[in-house]
Structure formats: structure tokens, C-alpha cells
Amino acid sequence: MLETPFLPQRIVVAAHPQMEDAIAEAAAIAAHIQERGLASLFGTLDDEKLRERVKNAKFDLLIAVGGDGTVLRAAHLCAPCSVPILGVNLGRLGFLIQIRREEWRAIFDLLLKGESWIENRMMIRAEHWRADQSLGNWHALNEAVVCRGQYVRPLRLSASVDGCLLTAYVADGLIAATPTGSTAYALAAGGPILPPELRNILLVPIAPHLSVDRGVVLSEGSSVTITVQGDGNAVLCVDGQTPISLAENDRVDVRAGDYGAKFVRFSDPGYFYRNLTAHMNQNPSIGLPR
């Protein structure tokens, strides 16, 4: 973590395009920023003009208004051009977000005084290979998952670390996660929780059958190759985006990304554990009373 004070001057406020309350809240945030004499632009994350301006380094901060999915979309946009992200949570969980809807006005006063710092989080790069041909590559903030597709039957997969065979799996899939992703799908599959400042890849099998059933934390700098051994029922899914079909003997190489995501944080780095404890004590997705 890099605890350097951060004082933005050019701010874009981007809402989830399908959340009407997020769009309204984003407009209020942009107006609040303008009232304090800073330049700001308001829009949605599917606005192509807004996206082009972010890519061309026209802003030094993007405020993402929505939930964790909104922040993931913002990270895919902002990480390649090193634009920091500040999330305002209107969703359910908010693992990636420190600020709730009812507190952004007070928190933004701290932001505009320079009382914040930048947290750097690792991303991973997943590349799809068929024989000697690369069919595409993608960056992920949470995870790259090789899992079963259309048919309800387990896959046969192998995993090699730095060119050496680790193990073979008969399972519904295998998750290659970042430390950020350790609190997402990997956590639901029984994996360990890693603090966000680490730069290790986490491997977690999904419903393994008579196979290694424990998560494996790779050394920093290590890469993993996941090979499909079965009949082509496998797909690759990166950060929950559209699945990509995999054929028998296709490989997915996963390594540390070419860039990472930057997040604006407040208070001390211990926020991660406080946020984690709050979510573990009560999962709002379940809808149960406290």
C-alpha cells in the first residue's frame, strides 16, 4: 500500500447505467464537487464519450456509483490508464467500497482536503491458448475461472505452476483469483482470505470430486497454466463477463497483470479487516434480519 496523500483536481462521476438511483446520486455528487470549485463530469459507465476521455487521461479520479459490479467495470476502464477509483456503495455488499450512500458528503470533504491515500491492488492477466495460437487475453481484478459450461458434469483439468505440474482436478472448475478476488467467488468456494496488498495468485477448486480440495497460494511472481483435459464442456469467465468456450487441450495462462487498479482510501489500512468483519457478521444478500 502506498499511503501518499491524494488531492484530485479533475473528477468524473460514473454511475451504473441500469440503476436509476445510482444515476440520480451520481448527478448529486457531481453538483456537490462543482460547488466546491473543482471540474467534474457526470455520466454512466456505458457512455462511450466518457470512456474515451478517461482512456485519454482527462481525469485524475473516477467516482463509481453503484455496487461491487460497478467498481469492477470501473477498474477495467481505469486500470490501464492509472486513474484511481473511489466507490460509493448503492449495492448490497460493497467489499470493494468504503463509502455508503448516506456518508459521501462528509467523506468528500476529507477528499477535497487531501485527507486520502491511494491503495494499489494487483490484477491478473488471463490468456487463452489453442495449440500455439493465442485467442485472446483479458485482465481481471477478481478472478479468472475455468468451469463447466452447458452440461452438468465435472471437468477434468490440470494445473501447472511455472511450467511444473501441480495437480489434476475432477471438479466443476478452478478459480485463479487475486487477493481482491479472495473475498469473492474464491471465498464462496472455500478459499482463504488474502489481504489486498499481496501480489499472489490463489487457486481454488470448485466442488472437487476425489481431487485436491484445498486452495493453493502461489509465490509472488508465479504463473499458472490451466489445461482442459476433457471433452470441451469448459468455459473461461473473467470477472463475471461473457463466458468464452474452451476446447479439449485448450490452455489458460494466468499471471500477474501488466497493470493494477488504484483505489482511493480513507483512514488507516486496517479498514480492510473492519470491512471484512462487518460483512462476515451479516450478509445483506440473504435478506435476514439482524
Q: Pick one of 1.10.3720.10, 3.90.1150.10, 3.40.640.10, 2.60.200.30 as the CATH number of 124-256.
A: 2.60.200.30
Residues 6+ apart with CB under 8 A from 215: 186, 189, 190, 191, 192, 202, 203, 204, 205
Q: CA-to-CA distance for 141 and 218, rounded, in angstroms?
A: 17
Q: CA-to-CA distance for 228 and 248, rounded, in angstroms?
A: 5
Q: Which fold has domain 2-121+260-281?
A: Rossmann fold (3.40.50)
Report the SS3 class of residue 103: helix
Report the SS3 class of residue 108: helix
Is there a contact between 77 and 45 (Cβ–Cβ < 8 Å)? yes
Name the nearest CA neighbour of 118 among 84, 87, 151, 145.
Answer: 84
> Rounded to 5, what percent of the chain is helix, strand, coil?
25, 35, 40
Report the SS3 class of residue 38: coil
Tell me what pLDDT residue 289 has.
Answer: 41
C-alpha cell at 83: 486513474
- Sequence ranges of the chain with CATH classification 2.60.200.30: 124-256
* CA–CA distances in Å: residue 256 to residues 122, 222, 240, 288: 7, 8, 18, 38
Active site residue 68: yes
Tell me what pLDDT residue 86 has.
Answer: 95
Q: Mean pLDDT of successive 10-residue segments in the chain (290 residues)?
A: 70 94 94 89 95 95 94 97 94 78 87 89 98 98 96 94 97 97 95 95 96 95 95 92 96 98 85 74 53
The type of residue at 202 is L
Residues 6+ apart with CB under 8 A from 128: 134, 135, 136, 137, 236, 244, 246, 250, 251, 252
Q: CA-to-CA distance for 134 and 107, rounded, in angstroms?
A: 45
Catalytic one of 46, 60, 68, 162: 68
| Helices and strands, number each (H, E), in the chain | 6, 20
Is there a contact between 159 and 171 (Cβ–Cβ < 8 Å)? no
- Sequence ranges of the chain with CATH classification 3.40.50.10330: 2-121+260-281
